[in-house]
Structure formats: structure tokens, C-alpha cells
Chain A
Amino acid sequence: GEDVEQSLFLSVREGDSSVINCTYTDSSSTYLYWYKQEPGAGLQLLTYIFSNMDMKQDQRLTVLLNKKDKHLSLRIADTQTGDSAIYFCAESERSGGGADGLTFGKGTHLIIQP
């Protein structure tokens, strides 16, 4: 079945870059996403990438996709205290008129050290 794996914790110093990694098993994944969840809040869509792309940059965020290895990463440049949250990797296929439900990893807790 589908599976998405992430490391549970990442600790970085303020101002450094954070790199959060994710691996997935479903070779038919069409869309790959990164969501951010702060305590007590819902999930905020950060960025996404189609499986026919290998890189996407959006301000401080860079997503890299290695489709051969089924590896996805999220790089956050100049990490700030406000980036402290849980980051979820998710994948989806597309069927019919819309995207299938997302399959999520367990999330990576990003801890910012002053």
C-alpha cells in the first residue's frame, strides 16, 4: 500500500537552512505536497510539486523531487522562530475531476534553536 515516511524531529539554529526529507512508495503519485501545522491549528498548504517536475522555488522554500528514488525534500532558507511547527509531506493521485485524498507522513517537528 501507499506509505510516506519522514523523520520525526529536526533541530536547526535560527538563520540556518532547514532541510526536511520525505520518501514515498507509490510510483503513481501525481502530486506531492508540503503542509505546515502549528499547535492547535489546521494544516496550511505551503507548496506542492507535480511529479513531472524536479524542483520548485517559492520565496524561502525550495522543493526538490527525485522521482527515481521517490525522495522529496523541503528546504527553508534563513529559518526563523515562526517556522517552528510540524511539517507534513503528502502525496496524491488524480482521478476523475479532482485529486484523491492525500496520504500523509507522520510529520517532522522542526525545532528552532536561538
Chain B
Amino acid sequence: EAGVVQSPRYKIIEKKQPVAFWCNPISGHNTLYWYRQNLGQGPELLIRYENEEAVDDSQLPKDRFSAERLKGVDSTLKIQPAELGDSAVYLCASSFSYEQYFGPGTRLTVT
């Protein structure tokens, strides 16, 4: 069974540029999560989807971050415009019940 797929794996952009991350969850997993992991820290939840519905986006900085999960499968997380402090690893996870499986992450560097 394929795991959670994320792309790109690495992204370097200049501040004020837009950036997007893509996630394909494990087949059949209706819950999808986006986390951000800063250096030396544990991941922090940004948004959780149940199928197409964002059921918890309280930690998503809505002035510059947006996310969508069309058709309840793939998801895209966007930052526009990016700031220096957005440099981090962005992790996607999916679950069917209580076990959350993570993708390899996208390492974003904002210069």
C-alpha cells in the first residue's frame, strides 16, 4: 500500500513569493491533516479535513495561508505571500480512524 505522497520535497523561494504544497493521502483515508514543523520542534497542526470539509482550521494563519481538498482526496496548501518565518517543514498526514500516517514533508526555505 502506498503511503502519503507529498510534493515537492524541497522548495526555495524569495520572500513575498507564493508557494504551494500538494498531498495525496493513503487511499481510503477520509481525514487529512497539514502540520508545520519548525526546526527543533514537534509538528503543529495547521488544518484538519474530514472528507472535503475543513473541521479544524483554528491554527491556520488565514491572512496568508489557504488550503483546499477538492473531492475529498488530494489537498493543496498555499502560502501567499511567503515570509522568512514560514521556513519550516510542511507535513501532511492522513487517517481512517485513530492512526495518523505522515508523508515525508516539504522543506520550505524562504530567503
Cα distance A106–B98 in the bound complex, in angstroms = 21
CA distance A99 to B49 in the complex (A): 11
Q: Are A98 and B43 in contact (CB under 8 A)?
A: no
Give per-residue flags for B20-62: 1 if the beta carbon is below 8 A from chain A beta carbons, else 0: 0000000000110101000011111100101000011000000
User: How many chain A residues have a CB neighbour from B under 8 Å?
Assistant: 27
- Residues of A19-65 whose CB lies within 8 A of B: 30-31, 33, 35, 41-45, 48
Interface size for B (C-beta < 8 A) is: 28
With contact pairs A31-B98, A42-B103 given, residues A101 and B50 touching in the complex (Cβ less than 8 Å): no
Question: Are B50 and A102 interface neighbours, CB within 8 A?
Answer: no
> Known contacts A43-B91, A96-B50, A97-B50; is A102 also within 8 Å of B97 by CB?
no
Residues of A within 8 A of B31 (CB): 97-99
Scoring B residues 92 to 111 as 1 if CB is less than 8 Å from chain A, else 0, what string do you get? 01011111111111000000
Bound complex: CA A38 to CA B99 (Å) = 19
Please, which residues of chain A bring their CB within 8 A of the CB of B35?
Answer: 101-102
How far is A44 from B99 in the complex, measured between Cα atoms in Å? 11
A residues in contact with B102, CB < 8 Å: 35, 42-45
Instruction: Among A45, A96, A101, point to the contact of B33 (Cβ < 8 A).
Output: A101
- A101 with B45: CB separation less than 8 A: yes
Apart from A31-B98, A97-B30: 11 A-B pairs, beta carbons within 8 A:
A4-B42, A30-B98, A43-B43, A43-B102, A45-B100, A45-B102, A94-B98, A98-B96, A99-B97, A99-B98, A100-B48
